[in-house]
Amino acid sequence: MNKNKAIYTLVGFIVAGLGFSSIILSLVGAKLSFMVWIDALGALQGFVIKLLMIISGIVVIYLARTDFSGEEPL
């Protein structure tokens, strides 16, 4: 995982950024063209999926940047 730390961090930022920008754009009535299918499921489901994108992106960033080698096992 050490050598792929930067790739996982980048993927996390992209997923969280797309979710966040999609929510912001939907507030003003605009949509990202490749994410229109999410809003086709319904307004609430689309919002929940976008929130899950933000949360999962943050979790991926956190896990990629955390060093587990210094921790003691239980």
Tell me, what amino acid is at 40?
A: A
The structural domains of the chain, with segments of one domain joined by +, span 5-65
The predicted-structure confidence for 1-12, as pLDDT tens digits, reads as follows 568 899 999 999
The predicted-structure confidence for 23-63, as pLDDT tens digits, reads as follows 999 999 898 899 899 989 998 999 999 999 999 999 999 99
* Helix (DSSP H) and strand (DSSP E) numbers for the chain: 3, 0
> Can you read off the two tokens belonging to residue 16?
């969280």
Tally the residues of the chain.
Answer: 74
The model carries a pTM of: 0.85
> Can you read off the two tokens belonging to residue 17?
């950024």
